Structure 1
């Protein structure tokens, strides 16, 4: 009688996609900095519009705030999500994934109806639609319930993949390579 691993094949065929912390931090830093600088600029314009004048000390204070707040905010957010960044494992056993801060989900390949990307850049999301909702098995562990989108009778799972390494296009190609062809 054959051992189960001999029947199923090698167990080391897993391809892992993850979000590098440095990339997440730098992206958050630029987004937070852009929003923060625009907010400070509007605050300064409002002060000037009501007739207030800015002293040299005010300018230095605004520059310090513009530089420090985004760095500290991005670091704080990253520390809160340190062990909960999104990931995806593709293996012969199926698809395992978790969005940032969410519980993991396991879906066997026979239970995957479609996979697709939506949005662009760092905001790219993977939309995984199971054949039926009962094919997906949410895992235990910390985090909120998996991100889901319900349209009509169809349930889809959403995973943030815009910052995943090696990248959303490579991830989608890997998933399409493993998906069974439907006749």
Structure 2
């Protein structure tokens, strides 16, 4: 005869999604580098347009700035957000999540009306809409209030999931698997 725990399964079946720091750094590095190089290019064009000649060693200086500034800036931003990157836990108790730099939110499965994804790539967001605002419990964590979107009297919570591991598609499949079917 099987033991009751073997039949019912584990007491805690939490699936965790998180943002790997290395992936966040590399993505931030490319975005920062693209913006920085465009700004440097515009600066050079403006100098040339106004007839200000470039000094002899300025090309090397601009190349150094194009390489060093994005790396240092991305590292500094990552260090500031080190312990506050976004995460999501899906378990039999409900859905727990926090966007980067925001307070955590808990929603029991019976209180989740819809979950969906919007946007694409690293900017992808999970939109969690509770049945009623009373179902959501905001935690006492460090950070600002949770990101919300209000439309037509509905309050939805937004979580940045574009860089989460294992990935937004796996995350949404897990959430749809756990959502109770509405009749």
- Please report the TM-score for the alignment, with normalisation by the length of structure 2: 0.94
Q: Give the alignment of 1:60-139 within 5 angstroms.
A: 60-139=60-139
In the alignment, does 2:44 pair up with 1:44? yes
Structure 2, unmatched stretches of 5+, are none
For 1:144, the equivalent position in structure 2 comes to 144
> Over residues 105-131 of structure 1, what are the superposed CA-to-partner deviations in whole Å (9 max), with x where a residue is unaligned?
000000000000000000000000000
Matched pairs, number: 179
How far is the alpha carbon of 1:9 from its aligned partner? 5.3
Structure 1, unmatched stretches of 5+, are none
- Please report the TM-score for the alignment, with normalisation by the length of structure 1: 0.94
| d(CA) in 2 for partners of 1:156, 1:140 | 19
How far is the alpha carbon of 1:56 from its aligned partner? 2.9
SS in 2 for 1:113: strand
User: Which runs of 4 or more aligned residues in structure 1 lie more than 4 Å from their structure 2 counterparts after TM superposition?
Assistant: none
| d(CA) in 2 for partners of 1:119, 1:53 | 44
